[in-house]
Amino acid sequence: MSLCSHTKFEASAIFPMLKLYAYQGCSTCRNVVKWLKQHGIPYEEIPIREQPPTTLELGAALNARGGDLGALFNRSGQDYRALGMKDKLPAMTQSEALQLLSKNGNLVKRPFAIDEKKRVYLVGFKEPEWASAMG
């Protein structure tokens, strides 16, 4: 786990800060890290494969996204295809889906970012969405 704080903020930035679940081999995750640094936004980077988001974090993001379970899944990932999630997901309960995501970080769409205090729940990286949420 790496903790990043930038010149715009004191080292004693208000905690909890943005939790960024990311995978270093993911170019989109690298892009969001670069973007966060450019904007002086402190974050805690968490390796999504080794430590997936909790069911509570996933549930909060799901609610923020209007209940669209599919939006939380990495639909282009190998695990998604290997597990046949395209066919299984429609039949799964919300609880089953969140449990599965919390156990397999490869299935979670990344980057996945959450800041409970600011009520920020971001999945994937669309710069305008991030700029609005972090502004």
Q: What is the dihedral of CA 89, 18, 131, 7, to 10 degrees?
A: -150
Please, which pLDDT band fits residue 10 given cuts at 50, 70 and 90? very low
> Where would I find the beta strands (DSSP E) of 5-111?
18-22, 43-47
Residue 117's pLDDT is 87
Nearest to 14 by CA among 35, 41, 34, 37: 41
Model-level pTM? Answer: 0.85
Q: What does DSSP assign to residue 54?
A: P
Buried (b) or exposed (e) across 79-99, using 16+ Cβ within 10 A? ebeebebeeebeeeeeeebbe
- The pLDDT tens digits for 93-118 are 999 999 999 999 999 999 999 998 88
